[in-house]
Amino acid sequence: MLLAMHDDTGDVAVAVPARMVNEVAYCPRLFYLEWVDRDFDDNHFTVEGRFVHRRVDDGEPTKPLAAPEEPWKARSVELSSAELGVTGKVDLVECDGGEVMPVETKRGKAPDVPEGAYEPELVQLCLYGLLLREAGYVVTRGAFWFAGSRTRVEVPFTDDLVARTKAAIALAKTVAQQKAPPPPLVASPKCIGCSLSGLCLPDETNLLAGVASAEAPRALLPARDDAQPLYVQEVGARVGVSGQCLQVKDTEGRQVLAAPLVDVSHLVVMGSVQVSTQALKELSSRGLPVAWLSTGGWLSGLLDGLGHGQVALRRAQYAAADDAGKALALARAFVSAKIGNARTMLRRNLEERAPGLLHELSQLVEKAETAESLEVLLGHEGNAARLYFEHFGSLLENDALGTFDFVQRNRRPPKDAVNALLSFCYSMLTKDLAVAARLVGFDPYLGFLHQPRVGRFSLALDVMEEFRPIVADSVVVSAINTKVVGPSDFIRRGVGVTLNAEGRKKMLRAWERRLSDKVTHPVFGYRVSYRRIFEMQCRLLARHLRGELPAYPAFRTR
């Protein structure tokens, strides 16, 4: 809820919601991420909280409060104060004997603490009391209703609690003016159960920033995301929405799939597929991107509604791209990680046969880390790619027809089956990194290694360099060697080779399996899926650009 007010100077200011004052009392960084950066994510606590509040949230618009002469109750009461610069919606207001009392509903059981509730909840309740006082009512106390224990706890609004509440309001206004989030809490139990822990990355940020902590990074975020992409590639198919589900129908109007929206991370449309206006509107309102790809997998567009509100992050991104030194440092990180991961890919399979090759790649990693210019860096990257693809064919098991003979990397169009698979997986990787970059708040078109070009997702191409060998190339090698794909899954068009519809289905399944695989993070030590790692890398890049981390920690597997 946003409310514009005029301050003492006549300037328009945005009122801070009472819920956000609660957040700043709990954790200033949480407040900043949620209120200033507009970052939010659900977990079971937030979903349960909304369920408990459903009667209030679905209530009728606020009516004028009755006179205090007779007892009365009012639900979902909206209040605001220009003097305090805050606004809020009280769950319940009760009046009896000429005094009114705000009542807040909380999920869970009443805590066994001296004041009857924790500080953030006390501050929020007291704030509602101050808003009611300013509206002309006598308010000396408030109450909580804890749904878990079905307990009512009354709280007196002492002078001390009022002072703490006003201090929290002042802190919220101060933190909201900062250019970067406050530092994370250090090894705090508050982070456990926080819905934004996967966005905040408190332990990870503290570790990379060199902040002392008594514990190794905790696995605060789920290892996998329950929501998955929905791929639609059937020619003439139509995607619509009905209730809480996306529906896919064939050319005859028959439903072939119904996917609950809560289980969809983004929609991927390949080729001649129609998406209804209603479905686009629903996806946009939920912040679920739609990726438009050709039948060959070429990413041609990305739709995500209003996009992300992180203007500060994009300003930092633009400033870094214009700073030759910062851009080069980031480009070095991307390329050196790519070469290092390519070396790991070969070492795991060819170590005894190619010791000289591994030594050359190690030297190229060192040269990439100290390259004096972007041109020199690209030269090292080209040399590493040449060495890598000279030996890539040795990783593949061929069939009797020689379908998967590999000589060299070629594209636009790929001229053999292996290159068709590589191009397809690189397109999927570009799509997934572009989606992750947009969700974090970046402009995916502006990169540091890859220079801007019309229609090119340069930042996604930058970050994906780290994952080309260990994700995309790995999927290709596995799909060929385990016979997931065969000669019948390809078609030749002119001088090029591409996957047919059945081949794309097989590769999409292989791709999603790989992204769902859990791997041990080489820095943080816990197990997490590659899809989660994609988003983590984008968030760590954001932390670096906004000054929280001294350097970008590129992902380099061991």
- For 228: left if phi > 0, alpha if psi spans -120 to 50, otherwise beta; the answer is beta
User: What six digits make up the tokens of 274?
Assistant: 């129609």
Is the per-residue pLDDT at 153 higher than 90?
yes
Which three-class secondary structure state does DSSP give residue 104?
A: strand
Report pLDDT for 463. 95
Provide the sign of the torsion angle of the four alpha carbons 431, 432, 438, 443, taken in this order: negative
High-pLDDT (> 70) share of the chain, %: 89
Is the per-residue pLDDT at 14 higher than 80?
no
Report pLDDT for 50. 42
- Amino acid, res. 519: V
- Amino acid, res. 453: R
CA atoms within 13 A on the CB side of 30: 22
pLDDT tens for 493-542 read 778 888 998 999 999 999 999 999 889 999 998 999 999 999 999 999 99
Report pLDDT for 471. 95
Q: What's the pLDDT band for 369 if we cut at 50, 70, 90? A: very high
Report pLDDT for 51. 41
Distance (Å, whole) CA 373 – CA 378: 9
Is the per-residue pLDDT at 460 higher than 80?
yes
Distance (Å, whole) CA 344 – CA 89: 56
E strands of 188-244, at which residues? Answer: 228-232, 238-242
- Amino acid, res. 274: Q
Report pLDDT for 261. 87
Strands 16-17 and 86-96: parallel
Q: Are residues 380 and 334 in contact, defined by beta-carbon separation less than 8 angstroms?
A: no
Distance (Å, whole) CA 171 – CA 21: 9
pLDDT tens for 169-184 read 999 999 999 888 999 9
- 3-class secondary structure per residue, 284-353: HHCCCCEEEECCCCCEEEEECCCCCCCHHHHHHHHHHHHCHHHHHHHHHHHHHHHHHHHHHHHHHHHCCC
E strands of 235-278, at which residues? Answer: 238-242, 245-249, 255-260, 264-270, 274-275
Looking at the DSSP bridge assignments, the partners of residue 259 are 246
Report pLDDT for 127. 95
Is the per-residue pLDDT at 451 higher than 90?
no
Residue linked to tokens 């040269």: 367
User: What six digits make up the tokens of 82?
Assistant: 């220009």
Report pLDDT for 530. 93
User: What six digits make up the tokens of 447?
Assistant: 């990169």
Report pLDDT for 57. 52
487: which residues sit within 8 A by CB, 6+ positions away?
A: 399, 401, 403, 417
121: which residues sit within 8 A by CB, 6+ positions away?
A: 22, 104, 106, 144
The mean pLDDT value for 400-411 works out to: 77
Q: What's the pLDDT band for 476 if we cut at 50, 70, 90? A: very high
Burial of residue 484, with CB atoms counted within 10 A of its CB: 0-12 exposed, 13-18 middle, 19 or more buried? middle
Report pLDDT for 351. 62
Q: Rounded to 5 degrees, what are φ and ψ at 302?
A: -145, 125
Distance (Å, whole) CA 290 – CA 427: 15
Is the per-residue pLDDT at 416 higher than 70?
yes
pLDDT tens for 221-246 read 777 677 788 888 888 889 989 888 89
Report pLDDT for 379. 95
Report pLDDT for 44. 41
Q: What is the pTM of this model?
A: 0.85
pLDDT tens for 22-76 read 999 999 999 999 888 887 664 444 444 444 444 555 555 445 566 666 788 888 8
User: What six digits make up the tokens of 329?
Assistant: 């440092």
